[in-house]
Amino acid sequence: MTLRHRGFLSATAGMLVLALVASTSAAPSGQPIRVGGTLALTGPLAATSLVHKIAGEIFVEQLNKKNGLLGRPVEWVLLDDQSKPDLARTLYEKLITVDKVDLLIGPYATGAIMSAMAVAQRHDKALFHHTFGIPHLAKYERQFPTWAIGPEPARTFPNLLFDALAASAKPPKTVAIVTSKFPSVHFMSVGAREVAAKRGLREALYLEFEFGNRDFGAIAARVRDANPDFLWMGAIGLEGNGLLEALKKLDYTPKIHFYLYPAPGPLALAPEGKYALSTTVFEEHPPFTASPVAAEYVKLFRERAAKAGMPYQSADTQAGSSYAAWQIMEAAVTATKSLDDKTLAQWLRSNRVDTIIGKVRFDGPNNYGDDLSKIKQVQDGKWVVVWPKEFAAPGARLIVP
Amino acid sequence: MPSLTLLGQSLVSGLFIGGLYGLLGLGLGLSWGLLRLINLSHFALVLLGAYLTYQLAGTAGMNPFLTPLLIVPGFFLLGVVLQWAFDFFRVNEFSSLLVTFGITVVIESVIQWVWTADFRRLETPYATLSVRAGPLFLPVTEMVMLLVATALSLLTWAWLRFTWVGKGMRASVEDPDIAAAFGVSPRRLALLLSGVGAAYAGVAGTFVALVYTLAPSQIYGWIGVVFAVVILGGLGNPLGPLVAGIGIGISESLTMAVAEPSWAPLVSFTLLILVLVLRPDRI
C-alpha cells in the first residue's frame, strides 16, 4: 500500500469516526417532550425554589445538548405556584389537561408536592419530586421521591446523628429540643426526642414554637438557662439563624448545635453558625463530586447561581436532590424507551438508579428506599460532611468544641 | 419555675420587640386613623427601606445608622406621590385595602427582581452587640430601635397636638367642612401626613435590616401582629401603637418564657378580639 493510499484510508476512517460521533450526539429532533412542573418562584419559598430552577435548567440544557430524551428535545414547562399549595394543585391540573405535558416533575416543597401528588394520582401520571419531607404521607404508587431519607426518617436520621455524636470526643449527656411546628420539621423533632430518650440522654428542655416566629429572645433565654450539651433545633429556613443571633445577644454559644432544614448560606456565613450541624444528601466535595457528572454540575451550578445574583452559590442538598430527580426521570425514560406513566413506574420500582446523591431505589414503603442522609458541619464558613466517615470531606471530622 | 433572670431577660426581649411593633405601627395607624386609608403597602415600604439599608451599608459601606439620611427624604416623596395617586383615583377606606395590596405585590416583585429571592444579611458589628446590666443582656440595636420608636411617637404626638398643621389634621378628620372653612386644606395635609408615614416606614426598614435576615416575602410576616397593635393602640393615636406594641411584645415574650412559645401568637390576637368585643368603637 502506497503512502497515498494510506492517507486516503486514514482520512476515510477519520471521517467515518466523525460521522459516528456526530450521529451519537446528534441534536435532538422532532416534537419536544414536554415536562411540566411548578416551583415557588415567588413567595416565602422562592429562595430555595431558585436553586431548583437553576438545577432543572442545567439538566434540560445538558440533555438537549446530548440527544434529548428518546432523540427528541425536552421542553420544561415551568409555572409559578407562588409558594401556595392550593395554587400548585390548580397549575398541575392545567399542566395535565390544558398544556398536555408528557411528564411531571415536582414542585417545592412538601405542601406543594402533596397537592401535585393528588392531581397526578387523579390522572394516573407519574410524579418525580425533589424534597418531600413526610414519607408516610406519600401514598400514591406512581410518585417517586428523590430526596432519599428512607421511609422512617424520624427514627433513622436521629439515630445517625446520635451515632455521630456518640463517636465524638465529647458525647452529649443532655439535650434541648427546640422545634418549629412546621409539619415536616415537627415530626422529625418528635422522633429525635424519642430516640434521645431511648439512648439515655437527659432532656434539659423541650419547646415548640409557631412557624414564622421572629422573636427568639425568650426562647434563647430558656436555652441558656437549660444549658444543654446538645441543642437540636427543629428549624426551617431562617429560624436557626434567629435563635443563634438571639443566643449571641445573651453572650451564649451552644456547645453542640444542630439545625434540621436551615437556610444553608446564611447559617454557614454567620459567625454564630460555626460548627453548626445539619443534614444533607449532597455536598460539593469528594466523594460526592468524584463522578464527572457531579463535578460538572457543581461547576455549572456555581456559575449560574452567581449569574442569578445568589449570594450563596454552593450546590448542596437541595441542588443535589433537584438534579437527581431529573436523572431519575431520564433513566426511566431511556431504559423503557417510553413516556407511558405505568411503564415508567413499573421500571422504577424494580430498578436502582445512579444519581449524583447516590444509588436510589423505590421498592420500599411508599416508594422509599435507603436513608442516604449524612451529617454535615460548618467548618471555616463552609458546609462539609463529617459523618458517616466514608462520606466525610477530605481531612474533615466532626468537631465538638 | 422560671428563674428571675429568665423572666427579666424575657421582659427585656418583649420590650424591644414591642419597640419594633410600635415603629411599624406608627405610620400605618396615622394613615388609617387620619387619612382613612388602610395602607398595606406600608409593610412593603418597610422592607424596601430594609433592602436599601442593606445596599447602602452592605455594599456601599455606609454606616447603617446614617442610611435614613438618604432613605427618609426619598420615602417622604414616595409617600406624597402615593397619596396624590390615592386622591386622584378617589381611593376610599375599603378600596385602599385592595389598591395598597396591589402596590405591595409590585414592590415585592421589584425587590425580588433587584435582590433576588435569596436571603440577604447585613453583617455589621452592631448586629449582635449587647451591653450587660447585672445578669441581663441588652442588645444595642434593639435598644436604639426602642429609643427611636419612642422619640418618633412622642414627636408625632406633639406635632399633632401643638402645631397648627397637627390641629388642622385632627380637625379635618373630625369635620372636614368646618376645618375647610377655617382655611385648612385637607388635601395638602394628607400629602404631608402620607409622606411622614412613608418616612417612618423607611426608618423602620433600617432597623429591620439591622436585626433580621431579609427575604422579599418577609413583607407579610408582621401584618397580623401590627394590625393588632394599631387597633389596640387606637387609630390615629401616635402613642398608641408603641404602648400596645410593648404590651403585646412583653405578653408574647413572657408566654414564651413560662409556657409554650407556640402559644405566644395567641396572646396578641386574644387581646385584639377582647378589645374588638368590648370596645368596637376603636375602629
Structure confidence by residue, pLDDT tens digits, A353-365: 999 999 999 999 9
pLDDT band for A19, please (50, 70, 90 cuts): very low
Query: What's the mean pLDDT in A78-86?
Result: 94
CATH number at residue B95: 1.10.3470
Closest CA to A315 of A356, A354, A275: A356
DSSP string, B94-162: HHHHHHHHHHHHHHHHHHHHHH-SS-B----TTTT-EEEETTEEEEHHHHHHHHHHHHHHHHHHHHHHH
List chain B residues with CB under 8 Å of A42: 108-109, 112, 117, 216-217
Can you tell me the ipTM of this complex?
0.85
Residue from the list B119, B127, B264 with its beta carbon closest to the beta carbon of A265: B119
Model pLDDT, residue A311? 87
Mutate to test the interface with B, among A84, A178, A249, A274 (most CBs of B within 10 A): A249
CA B262, CA A250: separation in Å to the nearest integer?
21
Tell me, yes or no, if A123 comes closer than 8 A to chain B by beta carbon.
Answer: no
Closest CA to B252 of B242, B243, B240, B262: B262
* B239 CB burial (10 A radius; 0-12, 13-18, 19+): middle
List chain B residues with CB under 8 Å of A249: 128, 130, 137, 139
Q: Do the Cβ atoms of B137 and A251 come within 8 Å?
A: yes
DSSP 8-state code for residue A72 = B
List chain B residues with CB under 8 Å of A245: 127-128
Tell me, yes or no, if A225 comes closer than 8 A to chain B by beta carbon.
Answer: yes
Tell me, yes or no, if A380 comes closer than 8 A to chain B by beta carbon.
Answer: no
What φ, ψ does residue A382 adopt, rounded to 5°?
Answer: -135, 150
Q: Do the Cβ atoms of A221 and B262 come within 8 Å?
A: no
Tell me, yes or no, if A265 comes closer than 8 A to chain B by beta carbon.
Answer: yes
**Span B150-169, pLDDT tens digits:** 999 999 999 999 999 999 99
- Residues near B120 by beta carbon (within 8 Å), at least 6 away in sequence: A311, B51, B54, B58, B213, B214, B215
Residues across chain A: 401
Tell me, yes or no, if A306 comes closer than 8 A to chain B by beta carbon.
Answer: no
Q: All 3 cell numbers of residue A201?
A: 440522654
Nearest CA in chain A to B114: A309
Q: Is the pLDDT of residue A14 over 60?
A: no
CA A23, CA B237: separation in Å to the nearest integer?
77
Closest CA to A155 of A184, A114, A196, A183: A196
List chain A residues with CB under 8 Å of B119: 47, 238, 263, 265-266, 311-312
CA B82, CA B97: separation in Å to the nearest integer?
14
**Span A20-54, pLDDT tens digits:** 444 445 688 999 999 999 999 988 888 899 999 99
**Span B61-73, pLDDT tens digits:** 999 999 999 999 9
In angstroms, the separation between the Cα of residue B137 and the nearest Cα of chain A is: 6
Tell me, yes or no, if A221 comes closer than 8 A to chain B by beta carbon.
Answer: yes
B264 and B255 Cβ atoms separated by less than 8 Å = yes
Nearest CA in chain B to A215: B17
pLDDT band for B127, please (50, 70, 90 cuts): confident
CA A126, CA A113: separation in Å to the nearest integer?
13
Q: All 3 cell numbers of residue B102?
A: 396591589
pLDDT band for A18, please (50, 70, 90 cuts): very low
pLDDT band for B282, please (50, 70, 90 cuts): low
Query: What's the mean pLDDT in A148-167?
Result: 97
A178 and A234 Cβ atoms separated by less than 8 Å = yes
Q: All 3 cell numbers of residue A374?
A: 449524612
Residue from the list B121, B137, B253 with its beta carbon closest to the beta carbon of A218: B253
pLDDT band for A401, please (50, 70, 90 cuts): confident
Mean pLDDT of chain A: 93
Nearest CA in chain A to B222: A214
Tell me, yes or no, if A209 comes closer than 8 A to chain B by beta carbon.
Answer: yes
> How does strand A358-360 pair with strand A353-355?
antiparallel
Domains, chain A, with CATH or none: 33-149+289-370 (3.40.50.2300), 153-280+375-391 (3.40.50.2300)
Strand partners, A180: A209
> How does strand A382-387 pair with strand A374-379?
antiparallel
Q: Do the Cβ atoms of A269 and B221 come within 8 Å?
A: no
Closest CA to A69 of A107, A21, A101, A116: A101
Domain count, chain B: 1
- Angle, CA A236 vertex, CA B220 and CA B24 arms, to 5°: 25
Q: Is the pLDDT of residue A395 over 70?
A: yes
**Taking the C-alpha atoms of B204, B205, B209 and B215 in order, what is their torsion angle to the nearest 10 degrees?**
130
Sign of the C-alpha dihedral, residues A206, A210, A211, A217? negative
List chain A residues with CB under 8 Å of B264: 209-210, 213, 215
Strands, E, within A106-201: which ranges?
127-129, 143-145, 174-180
CA A199, CA A31: separation in Å to the nearest integer?
58
Model pLDDT, residue A11? 47
Residue from the list A46, A209, A309 with its beta carbon closest to the beta carbon of B216: A46
CA B39, CA B53: separation in Å to the nearest integer?
22
3-state DSSP assignment of residue A323: helix
3-state DSSP assignment of residue A286: coil
Q: Is the pLDDT of residue A200 over 90?
A: yes
List chain B residues with CB under 8 Å of A212: 221
Q: Is the pLDDT of residue B16 over 70?
A: yes
Q: Do the Cβ atoms of A215 and B120 come within 8 Å?
A: no
**Span A212-238, pLDDT tens digits:** 888 899 999 999 999 999 999 999 988
B-contacting residues of A 229-248, CB under 8 Å? Answer: 238, 241-242, 245-246, 248
In angstroms, the separation between the Cα of residue B164 and the nearest Cα of chain A is: 40
In angstroms, the separation between the Cα of residue A52 and the nearest Cα of chain B is: 12
In angstroms, the separation between the Cα of residue B111 and the nearest Cα of chain A is: 11
Model pLDDT, residue B283? 63
Largest CA distance in chain A: 92
Q: Do the Cβ atoms of B119 and A263 come within 8 Å?
A: yes
List chain B residues with CB under 8 Å of A241: 121, 213
Q: All 3 cell numbers of residue B103?
A: 402596590
Model pLDDT, residue B126? 85
Instruction: Name which of A178-187, B118-127, B143-152 the model is least confident about.
Output: B118-127
Nearest CA in chain A to B115: A309
How many C-beta atoms lie closer than 10 Å to residue B88's C-beta?
8
Q: All 3 cell numbers of residue A10?
A: 486514514
In angstroms, the separation between the Cα of residue A89 and the nearest Cα of chain B is: 21
* Cis amide bond preceding B125, omega within 30: no
Domain containing residue B72: 4-282
Q: Do the Cβ atoms of A266 and B119 come within 8 Å?
A: yes
* A337 CB burial (10 A radius; 0-12, 13-18, 19+): exposed
How many C-beta atoms lie closer than 10 Å to residue A271's C-beta?
12
Closest CA to A115 of A153, A76, A143: A143
CA A250, CA A239: separation in Å to the nearest integer?
17
Q: Do the Cβ atoms of B118 and A251 come within 8 Å?
A: no
**Taking the C-alpha atoms of A339, A344, A347 and A348 in order, what is their torsion angle to the nearest 10 degrees?**
130
DSSP string, chain B: ---HHHHHHHHHHHHHHHHHHHHHHHHHHHHHHHS----THHHHHHHHHHHHHIIIIIIS---GGGTHHHHHHHHHHHHHHHHHHHHHTT--HHHHHHHHHHHHHHHHHHHHHHH-SS-B----TTTT-EEEETTEEEEHHHHHHHHHHHHHHHHHHHHHHHSHHHHHHHHHHH-HHHHHHTT--HHHHHHHHHHHHHHHHHHHHHHHHHHS-B-GGGGGGGHHHHHHHHHHH-TT-SSHHHHHHHHHHHHHHHHHHHS-GGGHHHHHHHHHHHHHHH-GGG-
Task: Compute CA A215 distance to the chain's CA centroid, rounded to the nearest angstrom.
Answer: 29
Mutate to test the interface with A, among B4, B109, B256 (most CBs of A within 10 A): B256
What φ, ψ does residue A149 adopt, rounded to 5°?
Answer: -110, 10
Q: Do the Cβ atoms of A309 and B132 come within 8 Å?
A: no
B47 and B208 Cβ atoms separated by less than 8 Å = yes
Cell 430594609 belongs to residue: B50
* B61 CB burial (10 A radius; 0-12, 13-18, 19+): exposed
Mutual angle of helices A46-65 and A317-336, in 10-degree steps: 40
3-state DSSP assignment of residue A385: strand
List chain B residues with CB under 8 Å of A251: 130, 132, 137
